[in-house]
Amino acid sequence: MARSRALLNVLNAVDAAAEELPVDRQFLMDLKASIELQDKKDSRKPSQTYKPSSMNCIRNMYYQVTGAEGISESMSSDFVGICQSGSDRHERIQQSVCDMKGNGIDCEYVDVAEYVKEHNLTDLDVVKKSGYETKLYNKVYNMSFLCDGIIKYHGKYYILEIKTETANKFWDQDGVQLDHYNQGIAYSLNFGIEDVIFVYENRDNCMKKAYLFHVTDEMRAKLAGKIIECDGYVTRKICPPKPANLSKKTCAYCGYAALCKLER
């Protein structure tokens, strides 16, 4: 009973403090809180599959496939907005790529589901299509992913991958980011297409850069071996050691960061 009264006193104090705030500040606080609450409602537990965007760390891969509970804080309203903005820019760039053919440029935005069917990629299941993106599942590698697109540019197929980033990263960038290599390799492993075009866009002014990433058989074999290695840890129910050469970015955005710190 005493505990309930204490909690009630705290809530009353919070309400009283809120009443003293200017209406604009109170509205802003409520707006941010609502954004964060709605994002939490909309969030779904990730499937127990490998993801191309999370293959830099074998421990992260292990956590995903075993369905580990990520111990992390909810996203702030600002970060939710950044993600929403990135999704919107993806769609607009994809639409612009679709428009290229109509504007007399030898570029075709390829229907990913049709590509899978026409090229007899029996390992891939088309889960669903949403706008320009197609969700796929690879039965052999237990990998699920959303593909930004496949294009046929001047008669050759390329995988299209779109990234939005901060101005600081954009100005200094002169090639595909190392953190994105495995993602490009994973797409190539799934589709059998050896070249990926990465389009990077500056969030501040929408300036763009594009880089060609060529994937070799050796790269694909190495990534496939990493998946097999992780499968072994999953079978033995042993958490793999954390790689020593991970970038700060990989750990900073990992949903299992807190859980990882608890492991040896």
Mention every residue, 6+ apart, whose C-beta is less than 8 A from residue 230: 50, 58, 61, 62, 65, 240
Would you list the DSSP string of the chain?
-HHHHHHHHHHHHHHHHHHHS-HHHHHHHHHHHHHHHHHHHH--PPPSSB-GGG-S-HHHHHHHHHTPPP--PPPPHHHHHHHHHHHHHHHHHHHHHHHHHHTT-SEEEE-HHHHHHHTT-TTEEEEEEETTEEEEEETTTTEEEEE-EEEEETTEEEEEEEEEE-HHHHHH--S--GGGHHHHHHHHHHH---EEEEEEEETTT--EEEEEEE--HHHHHHHHHHHHHHHHHHHHT-PPPPPTT--HHHHHT-TTHHHHHH--
How does pLDDT run across 35-46, given as a tens digit for each residue? 999 988 888 888
Residues 27 and 68 in one domain: no
Question: Which regions in the chain score pLDDT beneath 50?
Answer: 1-4, 7-8, 10-11
Same domain, yes or no, for 36 and 144? no
pLDDT, residue 11, reads: 47
For residue 10, the model assigns a pLDDT of 46
- Distance from C-alpha of 162 to C-alpha of 149, rounded to nearest angstrom: 9
pTM: 0.86
The answer on 55 and 27 residing in a single domain is no
Cα–Cα distance measured from residue 218 to residue 2, given in angstroms and rounded to the nearest whole number: 66
Spatial separation of the C-alpha atoms in residues 73 and 22, rounded to whole Å? 28
User: 16 and 133 share a domain?
Assistant: no
pLDDT at 3: 46
pLDDT tens column, 177-223: 999 999 999 999 999 999 999 999 999 999 999 999 999 999 999 99
Q: Does residue 115 share a domain with residue 144?
A: yes
pLDDT at 232: 97
Residues 232 and 101 in one domain: yes
Least Cα distance to 47 among 64, 27, 70, 71 occurs for 64
The pLDDT assigned to 246 comes to 85
Same domain for 112 and 27: no
What span, in angstroms and rounded, lies between the C-alpha atoms of 186 and 180?
10
Are residues 14 and 55 both part of a single domain?
no
Residue 118 and residue 28 share a domain? no
State which residues form the domain around 30. Answer: 1-43
Q: Tell me what pLDDT residue 262 has.
A: 86
Q: What was the pLDDT predicted at 239?
A: 95
What's the structural domain count of the chain? 2
144 and 84 both lie in a single domain: yes
Report the CATH number at residue 146.
3.90.320
Q: Provide the pLDDT for residue 71.
A: 56
C-alpha dist (Å) from residue 117 to 45, 123, 256: 29, 11, 36
Same domain, 56 and 99: yes
165: tokens are 């980033």
Q: Are residues 201 and 256 in the same domain?
A: yes
d(Cα 212, Cα 68) in Å, to the nearest integer? 35
Alpha carbons within 13 A on the beta-carbon side of 227: 22
